């Protein structure tokens, strides 16, 4: 059967299956709070099309008992490579076989309980229905590139399809989230750092503008107070920075108080200012160096092609065009970028991507040294 027809069928069924899936998932959660769950073992992986994807996740599931729900076209592959135990096959060779095999799959899943269900069919409404139908301690999956309230309800944990992460890496992160570096991104950032040092010099920095905040709706893109404190102390120890101005757009910024306390240690050298827009632009534009997070301050600085150090966490340094005048500091994590994509973050809001203090200190310790 044509894959285009399958997509159409899935989309039409989704009008019914999505609300039904959400309802079932809510009911299951309520029941699980009232009645202790019976023992669960193994993992269920849902991946209809693409046997190569199933082969890619085999390593990530090494040592685990797992079952697979997949299409008839993948039967030979899962048999030849020993994938799964009690696999369920969806026969898509005709509409009748598709309906009967789908019904059989649903019936069998009702009697099973798993430790975890992993859905790798990000767009399939039927796949999401299966995740709700089967009893599992944890339901997780890969979803599309947009916020979705249904994903928030259906999944206990999920990833918004990372572009440069393999299926095996995604499954590993869904099984147990860890702050892992994406080597592809890390290599690209390394080239950006090389380009920065080839075209910029920080040996004559005397005035620094520090812009620690970004969008008022984004609480993730913030370096911890302790990191900023260590960075400022490192800069002041050089004795060569004449003035460091910290700019805030509002007196209500949650980090303002911490910076004011730091400024008391360096009277006349570290100044905290609540600026209007004109003063903000002036400070960002005229300082010898800007130190900031991914923010409007950075974009203003890049527009005049002057040196900046930017701390990237839940956003990508490559996302909006990185200038050679900007030195990016990032952990290049597999889960990034995540800002504006998630309703429930894979890290639980801990933002390990913003633990960049040591990298930042290594950078600023060399500023203004001939």
| pLDDT tens, position by position, 148-193 | 888 989 999 999 887 778 888 888 889 888 888 988 889 999 999 9
Q: What is the mean pLDDT of the chain?
A: 87
Long-range contact list for 268-272, CB < 8 A, 24+ apart? 269/236, 269/241, 269/242, 269/243, 269/244, 270/232, 270/236, 270/243, 270/244, 270/246, 271/243, 271/244, 271/245, 271/246, 272/245, 272/246, 272/248
Residue 232 has pLDDT above 50, yes or no: yes
Specify whether the CB–CB gap between 140 and 155 falls below 8 A.
Answer: yes
| Joined tokens for residue 300 | 């203003």
Helix (H, G, I), strand (E, B) or coil at 48: coil
Report pLDDT for 370. 38
Strand duo 207-211 + 270-274: pairing: unpaired
Residue 3 has pLDDT above 70, yes or no: no
Measured from the Cβ of residue 31, the count of other Cβ atoms closer than 10 Å reads 11
The Cα 108–Cα 211 span in angstroms is 57
The Cα 209–Cα 105 span in angstroms is 61
- The residue with tokens 């080239």 is 191
Question: Exposed, middle or buried by CB within 10 Å (0-12, 13-18, 19+), for 246?
Answer: buried
Q: pLDDT band for position 217 (50/70/90)?
A: low
Nearest to 232, CA basis, from 177, 269, 257: 269
Work out the average pLDDT over 190-207: 90
Residue 222 has pLDDT above 60, yes or no: yes
pLDDT in tens, 82-137: 888 899 999 988 889 999 999 999 999 998 999 999 999 888 899 999 999 999 99
pLDDT in tens, 235-274: 888 778 899 999 998 888 889 999 999 999 999 899 999 9
Nearest to 51, CA basis, from 83, 5, 88: 83
Summary count for the chain: helices (H), strands (E):
13, 12
Report pLDDT for 4. 64
The domains of the chain, with CATH numbers, are: 3-175 (3.40.50.2000), 183-364 (3.40.50.2000)
| Joined tokens for residue 95 | 């509409």
Residue 291 has pLDDT above 90, yes or no: yes
Contacts of 179 (CB under 8 A, 6+ apart): 331, 333, 335, 347, 352, 353
Specify whether the CB–CB gap between 261 and 299 falls below 8 A.
Answer: no
Residue 369 has pLDDT above 70, yes or no: no
Work out the average pLDDT over 215-239: 85
The dihedral of CA 179, 181, 185, 191: what is its sign? positive
Report pLDDT for 283. 95
Work out the average pLDDT over 205-217: 86
Q: What is the 3-state secondary structure (H, E, C) of 189-249?
A: HHHHHHHHHHHCCCCCCCEEEEECCCCCCCCCCCCCHHHHHHHHHHHHHCCCCCEEEEEEC
Nearest to 103, CA basis, from 72, 132, 130: 130
Residue 368 has pLDDT above 70, yes or no: no
Global confidence as pTM: 0.83
| Joined tokens for residue 315 | 């956003």
Longest CA–CA separation in the chain, Å: 80
Work out the average pLDDT over 315-332: 88
Specify whether the CB–CB gap between 44 and 118 falls below 8 A.
Answer: yes
**Percentage of the chain with pLDDT > 70?**
96
The dihedral of CA 23, 26, 30, 36: what is its sign? positive
Work out the average pLDDT over 351-355: 90
């Amino acid at each position: 059967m044509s894959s285009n027809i399958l997509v159409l069928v899935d989309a039409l069924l989704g009008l019914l299956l999505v609300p039904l899936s959400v309802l079932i998932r809510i009911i299951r959660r309520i029941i699980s709070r009232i009645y202790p769950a019976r023992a669960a073992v193994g993992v269920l992986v849902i991946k209809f099309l693409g046997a190569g994807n199933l082969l890619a996740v085999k390593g990530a599931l090494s040592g685990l008992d797992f079952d697979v729900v997949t299409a008839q076209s993948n039967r030979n592959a899962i048999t030849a490579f020993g994938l799964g135990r009690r696999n369920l096959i969806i026969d898509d060779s005709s509409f009748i076989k598709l309906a009967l095999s789908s019904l059989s799959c649903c019936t069998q899943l009702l009697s099973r309980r798993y430790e975890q269900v992993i859905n790798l069919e990000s767009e399939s409404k039927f796949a999401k229905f299966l995740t709700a139908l089967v009893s599992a301690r944890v339901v997780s999956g890969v979803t599309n590139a947009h916020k979705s309230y249904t994903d928030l309800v259906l999944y206990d944990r999920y990833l918004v399809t990372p572009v440069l992460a393999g299926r095996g890496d995604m499954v590993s992160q869904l099984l147990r989230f860890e702050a892992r570096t994406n080597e592809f991104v890390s290599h690209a950032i390394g080239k950006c750092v090389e380009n920065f040092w080839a075209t910029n010099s920080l040996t004559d920095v005397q005035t620094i503008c520090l812009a620690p905040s970004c969008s008022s709706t984004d609480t993730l893109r913030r370096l911890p107070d302790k990191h900023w404190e260590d960075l400022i102390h490192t800069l002041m120890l050089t004795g060569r920075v004449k003035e460091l101005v910290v700019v805030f757009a509002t007196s209500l910024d949650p980090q303002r108080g911490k910076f004011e306390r730091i400024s008391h240690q360096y009277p006349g050298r570290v100044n905290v200012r609540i600026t209007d827009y004109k003063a903000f632009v002036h400070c960002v534009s005229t300082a010898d160096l800007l130190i900031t997070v991914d923010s409007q301050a950075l974009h203003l600085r890049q527009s005049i092609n002057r040196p900046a150090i930017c701390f990237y966490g839940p956003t990508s340094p490559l996302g909006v065009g990185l200038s050679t005048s900007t030195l990016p500091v990032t952990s290049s994590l597999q889960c990034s970028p995540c800002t504006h994509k998630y309703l429930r973050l894979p890290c639980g809001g801990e933002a390990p991507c913003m633990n960049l203090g040591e990298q930042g200190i290594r950078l600023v310790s060399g500023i203004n040294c001939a």
